[in-house]
Each structure stands twice: as structure tokens, then as C-alpha cells.
Amino acid sequence: MKTKTSSYIKITSVYFLFGVLWIYFSDAAINLVVSDLETLKFLQTIKGWLFICISSLILFFFSKQQFEKIQNETDQLAKTKDLLETIIENAPISVFWKDLNGAYIGANSKFLELINLQNRKDLIGKKDSDLNFPEKEEFVNDDKLIIETKKAKLNYIEKVTVKNNIVKIVNTSKVPLLNFEGNVIGILAITQDITEHTENLNLLKEQEQLLIQQSRLASMGEMIANIAHQWRQPLSIISTLATGIKLERELGISNDENENESLDMINQNTQYLSKTIDDFKNFFKKSNYTNTIYTDDLLARTLKLISSRLKDNNIEIILNNENVEIDTYENELIQIYINILNNSIDAFMEVNYNKYIFIETKKVNSHLIIEIKDNAGGIADDVIGKVFEPYFSTKDEKNGTGLGLYMCNEIVTKHLKGTISVQTVIFDYLEKNYTGASFKITLQL
């Protein structure tokens, strides 16, 4: 605009200046050399023609120069416009822009594809309400807000239901569209179809959920084995006592005192059975919130749950505990203890020397450190790097799913925001040298 005005002024000024100079100097020159009227008239005519010819030539060159310049600029502008259009058209993201009334002024093919439209003319000039998006109200409100506040709305996830009721999940950013003067003339938006990505994420989450579910089932299986273990003895006592009472009656040697004693013992044992059920039931309760507990209580509850397995296998637990208060998911932490202890018990199967499991808890700065170590021989070098992977197990199918430690790692890192590690250690205990696995869990207090 500016260059055009200045070139008008330039051409007109040159023409004006030339005219003034021509009239002034040519008249003065003629007056100086010619005196008779006839010649003067003739020369004036010639001078007039000369003026027209020269000024036409000047005008021709100036206009040509200006025209070429404008042509050049126009070509350049067209090229830039083409490039811009190509960029928008080929951008790997959907782009569209609307005017102040919310009518579409432009969009690239990717956007047409996203909203299942074949032709651009089905979009241009239309509003969201014309396109029948069920989400039109939200779209219009967003546009209004951006236009009114002149502020962008970036990277938000929204739903768009396109033709044939196909729902797409998109990540959108909208910015106000400004003209040269800085006034808002509409909105410009980019949006990316993330439906597939979201579906994949959901699938991953589902798979993770499935793994958690499987591992819960696995630890439930282990627990049931523990219950069965724990019940065997009291059940056999009850059965023996009941058979005894019956036999004494049949033989006619029963007496009230003996019978009462046996019935009391039966009662005691059934109460014990009922209590073990409560212990296990509490363990299976899913904790949705944390509570404050002491590590000693936690350990006592854990050991109660697996006491019979420990006793049956002659395993001695050696405790070295600082009773630390912690706010945590109690059952999750018990599940971790049980998984690790069960693994040690399994590892002791082949062992025929003294079996020990050392449990140490201590507070270091603002961390709770739990170390569980056995003397069952440790974990082989080619195995140790994989023990936290899901489904990794060196046991046969019947005895291990390979989810125990995976689950421990998941719970510790994702749920309790801590860390867990394992190493094979060599150590002395009661003047004997042992090798074993040592698990270390660090939790933020």
C-alpha cells in the first residue's frame, strides 16, 4: 500500500518538475535566440511536440518500471501463498479456520478426512450447527471465548462425533486469528486424531489390570494353600476329639468330665479356625486408602498368615526391627512381605541345613528401609535380572506363575512410590557362611 502511494507521488512529481523546467528554460532559450514572431510561433509548436514526446517517453519508462515491480511483488506473493497452502495442506495434522460468526473459511484435507467430509464446499461457509456435531455447543463456546478474550486454548482433549456416529478423540489447540491491525477476525485451530492412541493406552491399562487381577488370584491361591495348611492341624484335633467321644460312648466308658474337656477343646479349635478366616479375610480386603500403622504390627500380621508354612519347613525368622510408624496401604505391604517370604520358603525346598530368614526394618532419614534376606542359596546371575518381569519363573507351572515379584515391583513403585531391589549376598551367621537372596524395599515416610 505504502509503496504504491509513493510511486504515484514519484511519477507525478517527476512529470510536474519536468513540465515546469521545460516551460521555464525552453521559453527563455527561444526568447534569447529568436526575435521574429513567425519563427517564434513555429518553434513554440515544435517545443510543444517535443514536450509531449519526451514526457511520454519518461512516463512510459516510469510506468514500465513500476508495473514490473508490482508484477514481481504479485508473483512473489502468489508463490508465498501457494507455499503456505501446500504447507497447510500437507501438514500431518488437521487445520481449520473460522470467521467471527463461527463459519468455516478454510481447512486442509486432513481435517475433511477427520470429520468424514468428501468435499471442501460441504464445509466452507458452514457452522458447527449446520454440520450437526452433537458437541456443537462446546465448540461454539470455545470459539466465543477465544474471540472475546483474544487468548489461545491449547492442547485439550475433546470428543467429536462425525458422520455415521463415529466418535473420535482429538487433541485440539485454538488460537485467535488476527489481521494486520491486530484485530481478531476469527479463530485458527489445529487438531489431531488420537483415537487409536487412546485405544492403545486403554488396552495397555486393561492388560495391566488383567495382570494385577491374575497376580491377585495367584496370591489368593497361595493364601488358600496357607489356610489349608493352617487348618489341617485343628481340623484333625477336632476330628480326633469327636471320634474319641463317640467311641467312649459306644464302649460305655464315657464320663461327663472327659466329654466336657473334649468339647471345650473342640470349641477352642473352632474359634481358632474362625479367627484364621478373619485374618485372611482382612488380607483380601482391597485397601483404597492409607492408614497409619507400625511396622511391628504389620510384620506380626504377616507372620501369622504364613506361620504354618514356616513351621512345617523348619524355618526360623530372625527379626531386627525398629518399630517405625508409617502411613501406607497396609494390605499391599503385607502382600509384598508374603510374596517375598513365600519365595524364600520355596527356595528352601532343596535345603537341608539350618534355614533362616532375616527381616530388618529401619528408619534412615525420611525413609523406611525393609530388608528381607534368606540363606537359601541366592538367585543365579542369569536369572536375577529378570525376576521382576511378569511371568518370569523358574518354577514349574503348578508352583509359580511368575507374577509374585512383578506385582511387588508394581505395588512398590506405582502404589507406594518406593523402590525395590534384589541381590545375592554372602554372609556369616553363627560362625557359618551362607549365600542367599536379599530384597531391599525403600519407602518414603
Ligand X SMILES: Nc1ncnc2c1ncn2[C@@H]1O[C@H](COP(=O)(O)OP(=O)(O)OP(=O)(O)O)[C@@H](O)[C@H]1O
Binding site for ligand X (CB under 6 A): 218, 339, 343-344, 347, 374, 376, 379, 383, 387, 392-395, 400-406, 437
Q: Between residues 400 and 418, which has the closer beta carbon with respect to Mg ion?
A: 400
Q: Between residues 102 and 404, which has the closer beta carbon with respect to Mg ion?
A: 404
Residue 94 interacts, among ligand X, Mg ion, none and using kind-specific CB cut-offs from 5 to 8 Å, with: none
- How many helices (DSSP H) and strands (DSSP E) are in the chain? 10, 12
Closest Cα to residue 318, out of 409, 232, 434? 434
Question: CB of residue 386 vs ligand X: minimum separation in angstroms?
Answer: 8
Q: Going by C-beta distance under 8 Å and a sequence separation of 6 or more, which residues neighbour residue 371? A: 358, 359, 360, 361, 438, 439, 440, 441
| CA distance linking residue 87 with residue 81, whole number of Å | 10
Residue holding cell 515491480?
Answer: 69
Question: CB of residue 218 vs Mg ion: minimum separation in angstroms?
Answer: 8
Residue 401 interacts, among ligand X, Mg ion, none and using kind-specific CB cut-offs from 5 to 8 Å, with: ligand X
Q: Going by C-beta distance under 8 Å and a sequence separation of 6 or more, which residues neighbour residue 201? A: none
Paired with 107 in beta bridges are 96
Q: Between residues 334 and 376, which has the closer beta carbon with respect to ligand X?
A: 376
Q: Between residues 324 and 336, which has the closer beta carbon with respect to ligand X?
A: 336
Instruction: With residue 430 as reference, give the H or E element that holds it.
Output: none
Q: Between residues 123 and 437, which has the closer beta carbon with respect to Mg ion?
A: 437
Question: CB of residue 382 vs ligand X: minimum separation in angstroms?
Answer: 11
Residue 402 interacts, among Mg ion, ligand X, none and using kind-specific CB cut-offs from 5 to 8 Å, with: ligand X
Q: Between residues 234 and 400, which has the closer beta carbon with respect to ligand X?
A: 400
Residue 186 interacts, among Mg ion, ligand X, none and using kind-specific CB cut-offs from 5 to 8 Å, with: none
DSSP character string of 133-157: -TTHHHHHHHHHHHHHH---EEEEE
Question: CB of residue 442 vs Mg ion: minimum separation in angstroms?
Answer: 21
Question: CB of residue 91 vs ligand X: minimum separation in angstroms?
Answer: 47
Sign of the torsion formed by the C-alpha atoms of 138, 139, 140 and 146: positive
Q: Between residues 170 and 333, which has the closer beta carbon with respect to ligand X?
A: 333
Q: Between residues 328 and 343, which has the closer beta carbon with respect to ligand X?
A: 343
Closest Cα to residue 230, out of 118, 311, 125? 311
Q: Between residues 38 and 397, which has the closer beta carbon with respect to ligand X?
A: 397
Terminal C-alpha separation, the chain: 70
Question: CB of residue 222 vs ligand X: minimum separation in angstroms?
Answer: 7
Q: Between residues 147 and 387, which has the closer beta carbon with respect to ligand X?
A: 387
Q: Do 218 and 402 form a contact (C-beta atoms < 8 A)? A: no
* C-beta nearest to ligand X: residue: 404
Residue 218 interacts, among Mg ion, ligand X, none and using kind-specific CB cut-offs from 5 to 8 Å, with: ligand X
* C-beta nearest to Mg ion: residue: 404
Sign of the torsion formed by the C-alpha atoms of 27, 30, 34 and 37: negative
Residue 438 interacts, among Mg ion, ligand X, none and using kind-specific CB cut-offs from 5 to 8 Å, with: none
User: Alpha helices, DSSP H only, in 150-294?
Assistant: 195-250, 256-284
Question: CB of residue 383 vs ligand X: minimum separation in angstroms?
Answer: 6
| CA distance linking residue 239 with residue 269, whole number of Å | 11
| CA distance linking residue 172 with residue 192, whole number of Å | 6
Question: CB of residue 204 vs Mg ion: minimum separation in angstroms?
Answer: 24
Which residues make up the interface to Mg ion (CB under 5 A)?
343, 404
User: In angstroms, what CA-CA distances link 66 with 14, 71, 296?
Assistant: 14, 8, 93
User: In angstroms, what CA-CA distances link 233 with 247, 272, 300, 306?
Assistant: 21, 11, 21, 14
Q: Going by C-beta distance under 8 Å and a sequence separation of 6 or more, which residues neighbour residue 23? A: none
Residue 437 interacts, among Mg ion, ligand X, none and using kind-specific CB cut-offs from 5 to 8 Å, with: ligand X
Residue 347 interacts, among Mg ion, ligand X, none and using kind-specific CB cut-offs from 5 to 8 Å, with: ligand X
Question: CB of residue 345 vs ligand X: minimum separation in angstroms?
Answer: 9
Question: CB of residue 305 vs Mg ion: minimum separation in angstroms?
Answer: 15
Residue 394 interacts, among Mg ion, ligand X, none and using kind-specific CB cut-offs from 5 to 8 Å, with: ligand X
Q: How many C-beta neighbours within 10 Å does residue 339 have?
A: 21
Residue 115 interacts, among Mg ion, ligand X, none and using kind-specific CB cut-offs from 5 to 8 Å, with: none
